[in-house]
Amino acid sequence: MTFFTIVVRGLLRRPVRTGLTLVGISIGIAAVVALVGISRGFEASWATGMKVRGTDIVVSNMGNALAPKPFSSEVRDRIGNLPEVASACSIYADLTSVEDASMMVVSAREWGGFSWQNLKLISGRMPHDAMEPAVVLGQTAAEMLKKKIGDPLQLETKELTVTGIVDGGAMVENGSVILSLALFQNITGNEGRINVIDIRATPGMSEDEVKQLCNKIDAIAPEAKAMVAGEHLGNSQAFRFISAMSWGTSLLAVIVGVLGVMNTMLMTVFERKQEICILLAIGWKPGRVIRMILWESALLGFLGGIVGVIIGTIGVKVLETLPAIHGMLEPDFNAELMGVAVVLSVVVGVLSGLYPAWRSSRLTPSLAMQG
């Protein structure tokens, strides 16, 4: 009988208890995979949205909110005069309820700005001018709001007409209600206020030169912060708080798994006390007994990690099909996240087995004569 066979037999001795322990670990790991994958996916999709718009730098004041704080549109003129800036586009982005949808991205864009150029019409047309009471919807937003060309859409106190449905090339773009900045400012009473400036740098600029341009923008526009496109969301306090909450919630679930593994291994040591004592009596060293217990707990963790990754992935895929959030999730289930989840599960298993392993090493061969 090999060492590994003894380890596996130890886990199969109580299959129901081992199975329940695996469930506990896998739920914790599934939470890690699902929550972290969703938050990373949203950040990656946001970066993709910046890329398809051709944005090199984003100027905003994210603060503690998910939507940036507004500032004067005069900042755009200051930035647009810099020789390194090829073009600048003012935007007012907001997260708000729109009709039956509790949370939608409303993206009001400077009429004629480059942020309209990536929108590919699927049906209908673009608004005729900046003040036409019209919106275009990303294809996901149209599905969520159940709108088609010509339908009315209530935004704040104004009824607008859906004139076009577009493909923006990224999840965030496709989930947005898009309209003219001037029209949105008029509807909401935010004349002269914006909260984002998309910037295209002069073609041919290196990455270091783009970062230097960010510093120059910060110097002339202290009302906001300039960041390389794709990085500004991850650096916002609100998003970092959400990411931390994702990890925190996941780790709480993992701790429950830790307690489950520890309880299982302690019961294993208690029930197999005579067997362990016999192994010591026939020449096993205490260190080998410790390795046996740790291998059992590590194997529990490994299997729980594999099952957890599968459950987390399937769970998010099921969530994606729900009508309420269809098209709003684009999780990032890359190999790195999967690997981290499995390694975390193995570490959890080993740490959970340390105390039971120490207890097993304290047994003596003479105890085999008892019971």
Residue 49 counted as domain residue: no
Domain that holds residue 137: 55-228
Alpha carbon distance 57, 210 (integer Å): 8
Residue 233 counted as domain residue: no
- Number of domains comprising the chain: 2
pLDDT above 90 (res 164): yes
Residue 196 counted as domain residue: yes
Please indicate, yes or no, whether residues 164 and 284 belong to a single structural domain of this protein. Answer: no
pLDDT above 60 (res 325): no
Residue 93 counted as domain residue: yes
Residue 224 counted as domain residue: yes
Residue 50 counted as domain residue: no
Please indicate, yes or no, whether residues 215 and 349 belong to a single structural domain of this protein. Answer: no
Identify the domain boundary among 175, 208, 228. Answer: 228
Please indicate, yes or no, whether residues 222 and 80 belong to a single structural domain of this protein. Answer: yes
The pLDDT value recorded for residue 121 is 93
Mean pLDDT (the chain, rounded): 82
Please indicate, yes or no, whether residues 221 and 243 belong to a single structural domain of this protein. Answer: no
Residue 234 counted as domain residue: no
Q: What is the largest CA-CA distance in the chain?
A: 93
Alpha carbon distance 12, 272 (integer Å): 13
Q: Where are the alpha helices (DSSP H) in the chain?
A: 3-12, 15-53, 74-80, 139-145, 171-174, 181-188, 207-220, 237-271, 273-281, 286-321, 335-361
State pLDDT tens for residues 3-58. Answer: 667 777 767 777 777 787 788 788 888 888 887 777 777 767 767 777 778 788 88
Residue 90 counted as domain residue: yes
Identify the domain boundary among 166, 196, 228. Answer: 228
State pLDDT tens for residues 262-317. Answer: 777 777 777 777 777 777 777 778 788 888 888 888 888 898 889 989 998 888 88
DSSP state letters, 10-40: HHHTSHHHHHHHHHHHHHHHHHHHHHHHHHH
Residue 280: which residues within 8 A CB-CB, separation 6 or more? 286, 289, 363, 364, 365, 368
Residue 96: both structure tokens together: 């708000």
